[in-house]
Each structure stands twice: as C-alpha cells, then as structure tokens.
Amino acid sequence: MNPTSLSLFELSKKLGQKEISSRELTDSYIKNIEAREGDINAFITKTFDLAREMADASDSRRAAGKTYSNLDGIPLTVKDLVCTEGIQTTGGSQILKGFVPPYDATVWGNLKKAGAVLLGKTNCDQFGMGSSTENSGYGNTKNPLDLKCVPGGSSGGSAAAIAADFCAGSVGTDTGGSVRQPAHFCGITGLKVSYGRVSRYGVTAYASSLDTIGPMGKTAQDCAMLLQVMAGHDDRDSTTPNIEVPDYLNELEKDLPGFTIGIPEEYLGEGISQSTLQALESTKAVFKDLGVTFKTISLPHTKYAVPAYYIIAPCEVSANMARYDGIRFGNTQEGANYEEIIVNTRTHGFGDEVKRRILLGTYALSAGYYDAYYRKAQKVRTLICQDFTQAFEGVDAILAPTAPTAAFEIGKNTADPLQMYLEDILTIPASLAGITGITFPVGQSQEGLPIGMQLLGPAFKEERVLRMAHQFQTAIDT
C-alpha cells in the first residue's frame, strides 16, 4: 500500500515502529506531487531539497532515539500566508513575490521544533480574501476530486494537497471559513480554532479581529496531533491567552454519552442543496447511535452575518494592506514621485478582490459613514456572539452544513462577487463569534463530490469538537 494514502496518525505510528523512514515517506509524496501538480497547482513554492534534508535529519534523530515529538519526520505543507524563514512567502499575492521572511511564524516555528518536514507553501486567495482560490496571484488551484471544480478557499491549496496525497497535513487560516469550506469541498477534515488559540505572529494579516490559524488533515485525529503543537500562548501575540492546552489526542477517545447537539433552523433555509440536507440527516443518525440527542435551536441574527462580515473584514483590510506601499513592504514599481510609486506598486501588485475590499473598507470607515456601516456592523457582531452564547447554554455543540452546496465549477462565481460572498453564509457567523468549529466529510453530492458538515463548539473547546468528529469518523469506519 502506498503510505501517502494513510492518515498522519497512522504514519506517525509507522515511523515510530521504523516500518518506514521519513525520507521514504517524503520521496513518496514528492512522487505524487510530480505526477499531478501540473493539473492541480496546489503549491506556490515547493521545497523538495529542504524536505529531503529535514527528513534525513529526522531519520538520524530516530536512529539515535532522540525524536522531538510524534510529528517528527511527518511531511507537511503550509499555507503561503505563514512566514517561513528563508523560504518565499507571498500571501498569494504578486505584491509579495520574492519576499523571503527572515523569521518563522510562531506556528511554523513550533511545528519545525517538533520535527515536521516542509514540502512547500500552498496556494491561496490573495491574503486570504476569497472562497475558491481563484483570487490567487499564482493561478487557481483545481479540486483533485474533479478538476473542473474549485477546491474552495482561501486555503484551497492546502485542502487540495491533502486530498491529492501530496502531504500528511497542512496549516491553513480561517477568517470567515477558509479552513472549513475547502475541507468540505475536498473531502478532508479541517479545524477552525477559537480566536487566540493559535498565535498569529508571523502570519500575514487579513482581518486581524477574525484571523485564526488551523490544522487540516485527513481526520480529526490528525488535526488533534497538529493542534497539540500549534496551540498555546505566545508572548508575541497578545490575543493568545495563557490558558492550558489540553491533551487533544487523549480527549478524543472519550465517548459521547449525554451529549446534546443543536441544529440551527436558520442554517437550513433557502439554497441548501437536497444532497446536503440528506447528508445532515445521515450524520445525525450516526451521532444518535453514539448516544447523542438532538434539539432544534435558533441563531436569530444569522442573516445579518454576511453583511456585517463584509463591512468589518474590508475595514480591517484597508488598514492591514496599507503597509504594502513598495517602501515598507511589497515589490516596488517605478514612479516619478512618492505618490506614483505607491500607486504603481499597488495597481500592479494587488489583485482585483484586494482592491475591491480596500475601497469598501476605506469607504465604510470614512467620516460620515463610520456610524452607518462600521459601528452598526460591530453591533451586529455582538448580537451574533450573544446568539451563540445563548445556544451553548442548552447544547454542547451545533451541527450544520459548511456551505450550501458541494464544490462549484471554476468560473461560476467570479463575475459576481456578491454571489461569492453569499457562499460564506454558513461559516461566517462562527468567525464573527470567535468560536471553534470542525468540518469533516460525511457524504457525497449527486455528482459524487464530497460534503462536509461542521460541528461548532464554544470558544476554547477544540477538544470537544475534535472528539465528536473523531467518534463519528471511528463509527463510520467500522
């Protein structure tokens, strides 16, 4: 059996028992990448030489009985928003083409210290702005399960890389759904962590009050192993609280007696495909067999989530993109004077979606409009947070579809940005509330494309949603 089809958990065991070496495993992934990357375009930068070096170093540590962790020797990919020392990090944008960070983001630094191997940096929508990876400055990524379809976004390269057996796991980011929706489109598992659970230090900022960094893998167990190393307080990110990181792997094995799951009625309205609704029913049946009870709940402000998000996120974009002026950051374009240099740098470097959001955000923050847009959106955000707080008083978790449909065809929504934004309706509320959520595959659409459900949990209860998804995956596996 080709080892690349195994889960990260199983690979870690095989490495531990010396049934396979990290070098062999790394070479197997490279072989897969060389065979299919031309069709898929999951990578912006490949780091094969480095990967072989890291794998050899891991094998030597293992031979000496000195491995760093259960991730030692595991080949991973990392979304190109995450700074990697000495390796190009573009944020998916031409404006950062050739940028080589002199330091590691905390999250990658932690994985490196755990002995993980880096196969490359994955493709994404520019700075994370998008839902299909069609807004990348490096060509779009295709869905490995159907090359006519998008892999989702913005962490589309990471999801595609896992689905195509190009790596054992990946690091994605989720600001409004970018880990969960690509996981759903590509039939893998992705965890959106609570805001502050994983350090954002060294990760290119998109919308700073919403940005989260999460693990992606074949299974919840794989995500738990990655999160163990990724999570925790970081002095360099003051939004990471100094609270305990649970033993995620251990927590997975506890069963689910007495658990109650809420189904939000607002998530099952218009536009949700028939096969998605069927997949929800079959998911419920599995959980019922595991002893879980269900209850219908209401999250009444759901319909305001998309408009509020598409004010708040662009406002933060307008501030965060200001540093790319060709002087502090960004590839400098020529110009006769200071202003022309900035204009040319941005005109050339930013894609259309980034420009659109800078315009929207600058407008919404401008004098006279601030109260009407930004302040109002913030009030709506508070109401959405309250919806979840109230819901979690009566349920342990919330189960809902991740997106209205399975993966859509490339080009379907590119002409209509509003339609693209509306695709995010089911992932955005949890992002505004800063809570955690996991998407895992549960079924298929009529076209045979994967469908993933999301399980949302209270902030800093990653262990709960991981455990529930793991129990589900164990139940359907046997």
Active site residues: 79, 154, 178
According to CB under 6 A, which one of 92, 120, 137, 177 is a site residue for ligand GLN? 177
Closer residue to ligand GLN, CB minimum distance, 80 or 174 = 174
Query: Per CB under 6 A, which of residues 403..432 are in contact with ligand GLN?
Result: 424
- Reported for 239-247, long-range contacts at CB under 8 A and 24+ positions apart, including other chains, are 239/195, 239/196, 239/200, 240/196, 240/197, 240/198, 240/199, 241/196, 241/460, 243/460, 246/462, 246/463
x/- contact string, 261-300, with ligand GLN (CB under 6 A)? ----------------------------------------
Of residues 457, 434, 473, 405, the one with CA closest to residue 188: 473
- Residue appearing with tokens 């995500």: 223
Q: 436: which residues sit within 8 A by CB, 6+ positions away? A: 191, 192, 193, 194, 197, 430, 456, 457, 458, 459, 460, 461, 462, 465
By CB under 6 A, which span of 99-107, 169-177, 237-245, 319-327 interacts with ligand GLN? 169-177
| Binding flag, residue 131, ligand GLN (CB under 6 A) | yes
| Binding flag, residue 325, ligand GLN (CB under 6 A) | no
| Binding flag, residue 315, ligand GLN (CB under 6 A) | no
**Closest separation in Å from C-beta 271 to ligand GLN:** 16
**Closest separation in Å from C-beta 53 to ligand GLN:** 31
| Binding flag, residue 73, ligand GLN (CB under 6 A) | no
Work out the number of other CB atoms within 10 angstroms of the CB of residue 177.
32
| Binding flag, residue 91, ligand GLN (CB under 6 A) | no
According to CB under 6 A, which one of 91, 176, 187, 232 is a site residue for ligand GLN? 176
Q: 416: which residues sit within 8 A by CB, 6+ positions away? A: none
| Binding flag, residue 154, ligand GLN (CB under 6 A) | yes
**Closest separation in Å from C-beta 132 to ligand GLN:** 8
By CB under 6 A, which span of 158-166, 173-181, 268-276, 358-366 interacts with ligand GLN? 173-181
Sign of the C-alpha dihedral computed for residues 331, 117, 77 and 428 taken in this order: negative
Sort 323 into a burial class: Cβ within 10 Å, 0-12 / 13-18 / 19+: exposed
| Binding flag, residue 313, ligand GLN (CB under 6 A) | yes
| Binding flag, residue 463, ligand GLN (CB under 6 A) | no
Closer residue to ligand GLN, CB minimum distance, 29 or 206 = 206
| Binding flag, residue 130, ligand GLN (CB under 6 A) | yes
Contacts with ligand GLN by CB under 6 A: the residue count is 14
x/- contact string, 194-233, with ligand GLN (CB under 6 A)? ------------x---------------------------
Closer residue to ligand GLN, CB minimum distance, 174 or 462 = 174
Contacting positions for ligand GLN (CB under 6 A): 128-131, 154, 173-178, 206, 313, 424
